[in-house]
Structure 1
């Protein structure tokens, strides 16, 4: 198995779909990515704020596996790290297979607790036509399958850079599979 590693980091102060890549990002415990529009204890995603601005922010950090970018490129899409709105791009981690509550230790100090799946919306087709059907589908049972990464909250602050290792700590069993957050 390949080593689990951070391949890219990104943030954006504005509520834009894509986030520009950075040399490093700073994760702040209980808040998210310093300098990112989604930083905060309560929800920052516009649709969630409209529903109830007092909801806890379970979407402080968005992670996508670079293997998804590889698959999308193979199907004709041009996607670079950060362009699908993720803060952290990984390689060598089955992000979608992790249970709720998994701790991801990024680099020397930062810790992100996995809260659930990103629920891709129509904005993704505004970025690239046809992309939504590549990251949102149905399995044999007819259940929705979300492939556009996972969300988490910051438990321990720290700098995260491309090339940083990722250590995975699974929660106590029984494990709960990821669902949308």
Structure 2
């Protein structure tokens, strides 16, 4: 069964958007444990998380050019994806795919580049799409083809969440509401970062 993700085309900017869970890990790994709260540090990322830093922290990107700016300080995934993956036979829970913030009620994948998400006292500016890798199949065989696939138009669809930078620091906890501020037009679609 193939997952159809409504958040790729139907963003929700209503007041029902919220944080379901928060995660961080100080070591490189795939999944991240749930926490009671995380501190987002402006220009750096999630305090204590292995991917926090002004410059790129993902190992493959560090190997190519360690001086690149870190546009992947915070990883957000919509919990609706887990619902759809369950329908396709995969058991995936918040934090399993290594995200920092699990959300519900917002179409993350349809947001334009530069969207500002106010979450608690913090602000995350969306920079692009997460580009899922083969490690997802190590976690659960067949999962990669559910979150990275070809659309009806032949283009690549990336469903594994969005990346952002911390534009204003603050603590984020489960249950925090998410506010959405779109950038000035023209709106540019998200691409992988």
Q: Structure 1-normalised TM-score?
A: 0.98
The answer to whether structure 1 residue 166 and structure 2 residue 182 are counterparts is no
2:58 aligned partner: 45
Asked if the contact 2:15–2:177 (Cα under 8 Å) also holds between the matched residues in 1, the reply is no
TM-fit CA distance, 1:141: 2.1
1:103 aligned partner: 116
Separation in 2, partners of 1:46, 1:66: 26
Count of residues paired in the alignment? 180
Deviations 1:45-74 (A, max 9, x none): 000000000000000000000000100111
What RMSD, in angstroms, separates the aligned Cα atoms of the two structures? 0.8
2:138 aligned partner: 126
Instruction: Go from structure 1 to structure 2 and tell me whether the alpha carbon gap of 1:160 and 1:34 turns closer, same or farther (over 3 Å shift).
Output: same
Unaligned runs of 5+ in 2: 1-13
Correspondence 1:40-79 to 2 at 5 A: 40-79=53-92
Other structure's SS at 1:130 match: coil
Separation in 2, partners of 1:140, 1:88: 29
Unaligned runs of 5+ in 1: none
2:29 aligned partner: 16
Separation in 2, partners of 1:102, 1:2: 16
2:189 aligned partner: 177
TM-fit CA distance, 1:41: 0.3
Deviations 1:108-134 (A, max 9, x none): x10000000000000000011100000
Separation in 2, partners of 1:28, 1:2: 25
Separation in 2, partners of 1:2, 1:89: 16
Separation in 1, partners of 2:30, 2:177: 27
Other structure's SS at 2:180 match: strand
Separation in 2, partners of 1:30, 1:93: 24
Separation in 1, partners of 2:23, 2:46: 9
Separation in 2, partners of 1:136, 1:9: 24
